[in-house]
Each structure stands twice: as C-alpha cells, then as structure tokens.
Amino acid sequence: MSTPQENARLEQIKRSWQQKREINDRLSKIKTKVGVYSGKGGVGKTTVAVNLAVTLAQEGSKVGLLDVDIDCPNVTKVLGIEDKPDYIDGQIHPSEKWGVRVVSMAFFQENEEEAIIWRGPMIHNAINQFLQVTDWGDLDYLVVDLPPGTSDSPLTVMQTLPMDGFVVVSTPQELANMDAKRCINMIRKLNLGVLGVVENYTGEIFGEGAGQELASEVDAPFLGTLALRSSYRDTSKPTALADPSVGEEFSKVARNMRESLREMGREAD
C-alpha cells in the first residue's frame, strides 16, 4: 500500500507530465525556439534578443519574442511597444510591433518602476503560465530572452521549454567571459545546444576579441561582434532598424545563427 508521501510524489509527476504535454501542444506551430542567454546582467542580452528578433522578421520570417526575465522585463522598452496583449477565453494573444509578436511580464505590471520581488516557485509558475496559455500561432522563430545567471529562473526555462539552441551574449571584459563560460557549461550539462557566442560592446573603450577567444575555448561557433555605438541612445525603434551599420551586424549574427541551426538539423526554413 502506498504511503501519503508516495501518492503526493506520484501526483506531482502526473501534473508535471500533463504540464509539459500542454506546453508542447501549445508550441507545436513554432518551428525553431532560440534562447538568448548570458552569464550575468548588463551585457546587453535583451538588446541582442530584441534586435535579433526584429532582424529575422525584416528578413521575412514569422517571429515571436518571449521575455521570461521575470525580475527585470525590458523587451517592451527596447521595442517601444505599449499595446498590451489581448486575453481572450483564457488565452494570451501577443502584441505585435516591427513584425514581432511579443509577450512580457512588463505588460502585466501596473507600475514599471515597481520591483517584482518573487521567490523561485512564483517565478516558475509565471513562466509556465506564459508557456501554457500564449497562442503564438504559426512562427518560424520564437526568440526567448532568458534571465541571466545559472540559478532557478533560467533552469526552469531550460527544463520546461523545448529549446533548439542558445545564443550566448558576452562582452570583451574578462569577468563577463568567465560568467559566459559558466552558462555555456550549464547549457551543455542539460544536453542542450550552444548556437554560438556574440561579443557585445566592442570597440575602442572595451576592446575586442575576447568573445572569439571564448568561442574557441569552448568549441562553439562565433556569431559576430556588436560595436558600442552612440546610435543605441535612439530609443524610437530597435537600433538594427535605425542604424544600417548595426543592421548589418545583426544580419551577420542571424546568418551565422541559422548556419549553426542547420548544422544541428534545427533550422526553421
């Protein structure tokens, strides 16, 4: 005869299995799911996620952008989107701007300056809610802006959302690359794929080349460099649309990412 503890454990396994099945069904019309990830905050992960999504959309792909950085949701600011998603019959229908469908915790804050002070289980539940109830429709790519670090929040996403690979963002500084290496090791420990490394903030101030060295050290593709430019101060639209030089950099990153996906057999096209 089963003990109460064993019965509770069995029920938890059943719930987890049912939840994963619902999420897989919900995401079945999405061809390729790409995480944009960093070992630490402040390296420009959200900027890369938004501009990569916009670039893919400009090139003709159907693109969604999911912001699961629950503590500090910023993709709406970078996109310049204010229209909230529709919530109809228990389903979230994403907002859209610049050809990208968007869901973010920022849409559900009454005050954007208010801190979201949640423990791990609440963040876990919020991420699962987004995955279970969002109707993305048909997409070529879902770009997922992950929380930084290697703790509970990114782990929840990696274990719940069936990702096709991760773009890892770093900068020329030694500490940023050390943390990027840690998150690459985390991805691989979970038997997931690293699509490549992007080096952000390159140029005269911070230097250049550490990201390429990191990619070589961890035997991962190097997707490209993104220079530190004054054009990023223009927040009227994603910088890849406002500055042709930035647009070319992101086109190269997107092209190299697609090549990595092809080599893994995961390309959307």
Dihedral over Cα of 78, 83, 87, 88: its sign: negative
pLDDT for 260: 96
> Higher model confidence: residue 51 or residue 5?
51
Question: Which residues, including other chains, have CB under 8 Å from residue 101's CB and lie 6 or more apart?
Answer: 63, 64, 65, 94, 95, 136, 137, 139
Measured CA to CA, the distance from residue 266 to residue 67 in angstroms comes to 22
Measured CA to CA, the distance from residue 176 to residue 79 in angstroms comes to 25
Q: What is the b/e burial string over 177-210, where b = at least 16 CB atoms within 10 angstroms of the residue's CB?
A: bebbbebbebbeeeebbbbbbbbbbbeeeeebeb
pLDDT in tens, 64-96: 999 988 777 889 989 989 888 898 888 899 999
> Which domains are seen in the chain, by residue range?
30-264 (3.40.50.300)
Question: Which residues, including other chains, have CB under 8 Å from residue 99's CB and lie 6 or more apart?
Answer: 54, 57, 58, 63
Amino acid at residue number 51: N
Measured CA to CA, the distance from residue 11 to residue 74 in angstroms comes to 36
pLDDT in tens, 113-152: 666 666 667 777 778 788 888 999 999 999 999 988 777 7
Measured CA to CA, the distance from residue 77 to residue 68 in angstroms comes to 15
Measured CA to CA, the distance from residue 218 to residue 141 in angstroms comes to 26
pLDDT in tens, 170-224: 999 888 889 999 999 999 999 999 999 999 999 999 999 999 999 999 999 999 9
pLDDT for 60: 95
pLDDT in tens, 87-122: 888 889 999 999 999 998 888 766 666 666 666 677
pLDDT for 43: 92
Measured CA to CA, the distance from residue 69 to residue 218 in angstroms comes to 25
Average pLDDT over residues 254-262: 96
Predicted model pTM? 0.89
